[in-house]
């Protein structure tokens, strides 16, 4: 598995593991010492350990298997063909976020994050810095966008396989609901739904529909 600059420290890898970050799927594997299992960081099949001492990280699932960790039967970390199509997922998110104005522009992020605009503005620019809580909300929404796009890509891929085998096509099966997204984001469902819509201008379902359409068209 190739290393990614975003996950170069154990703290970064642990955070990606805790939040099941889809972008980390090909960067490293997680060795659960309690269950003696090795999984991809975005796998939720087994409960996440809550102590850093109970999980270690390697860059090769086969190496983990060679030292006694059993590969997860759900995410199949030793199989390179079971990885997510990250380039497609990334371009999906970039395209949709650009279309709805959810960009990396600092002033735009502030405008979206502030529930009440600061009175200290300079030609429309917000002088107040984002609070830690506001920054965390934006970060969690960015992560949720990854989960939604990844779920749409997986669902479409599975439906294509089923269709090739003569199965019946379905519309959106597999795209995550906001309660599951809230759980991944460590927020209550109501709070997550409110934060997601305030930042993106869309409900999680509407965002998922756009991901679905974009991926189907590409």
Q: Evaluate whether residue 2 is within a structural domain.
A: no
User: What's the mean per-residue pLDDT of the chain?
Assistant: 83
**pLDDT of the residue at 113:** 63
Are 23 and 3 in contact by the 8 Å Cβ rule? The answer is no
Q: Evaluate whether residue 3 is within a structural domain.
A: no
Q: What's the CA gap between 103 and 100, in Å, rounded?
A: 8
**CA nearest 46: which of 65, 22, 62, 30?**
30
Range of the domain at 41: 10-79
Residues 74 and 90 occupy one common structural domain: no
Q: What's the CA gap between 142 and 136, in Å, rounded?
A: 10
Residues 36 and 106 occupy one common structural domain: no
Selection from 29-38, 96-105, 163-172 with the highest mean pLDDT: 29-38
Cα–Cα distances in angstroms (integers) from residue 46 to residues 16, 30, 109, 162, in the given order? 15, 11, 35, 26
Q: Evaluate whether residue 186 is within a structural domain.
A: yes
**pLDDT of the residue at 101:** 86
pTM for the model stands at 0.82
Residues 96 and 39 occupy one common structural domain: no
**pLDDT of the residue at 175:** 65
Residues 90 and 72 occupy one common structural domain: no
Q: Evaluate whether residue 47 is within a structural domain.
A: yes
**pLDDT of the residue at 184:** 85
Q: Evaluate whether residue 1 is within a structural domain.
A: no
Residues 32 and 137 occupy one common structural domain: no
Q: What's the CA gap between 196 and 112, in Å, rounded?
A: 10
Q: Evaluate whether residue 185 is within a structural domain.
A: yes
Q: Evaluate whether residue 191 is within a structural domain.
A: yes
Residues 48 and 74 occupy one common structural domain: yes
* pLDDT top residue among 181 and 69: 69
Evaluate if residue 211 carries a pLDDT over 70. Answer: yes
């Amino acid at each position: 598995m190739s290393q990614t600059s975003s996950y170069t420290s154990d703290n970064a890898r642990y955070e990606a593991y805790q939040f099941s970050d889809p972008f980390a799927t090909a960067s490293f594997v997680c060795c659960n010492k309690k269950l003696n299992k090795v999984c991809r960081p975005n796998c939720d099949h087994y409960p996440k350990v809550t102590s850093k001492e109970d999980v270690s990280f390697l860059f090769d699932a086969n190496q983990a298997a060679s030292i006694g960790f059993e590969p997860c039967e759900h995410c199949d970390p030793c199989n390179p063909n079971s990885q997510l199509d990250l380039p497609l997922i990334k371009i999906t998110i970039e395209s949709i976020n650009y279309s709805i104005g959810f960009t990396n522009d600092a002033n735009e992020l502030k405008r979206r994050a502030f529930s009440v605009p600061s009175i200290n503005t300079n030609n429309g620019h917000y002088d107040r810095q984002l609070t830690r809580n506001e920054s965390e909300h934006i970060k969690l929404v960015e992560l949720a966008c990854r989960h939604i796009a990844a779920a749409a890509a997986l669902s479409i891929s599975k439906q294509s396989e089923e269709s090739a085998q003569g199965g019946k096509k379905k519309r959106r099966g597999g795209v995550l609901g906001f309660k599951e997204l809230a759980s991944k984001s460590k927020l209550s469902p109501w709070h997550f739904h409110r934060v997601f819509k305030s930042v993106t201008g869309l409900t999680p379902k509407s965002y998922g529909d756009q991901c679905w359409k974009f991926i189907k068209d590409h």
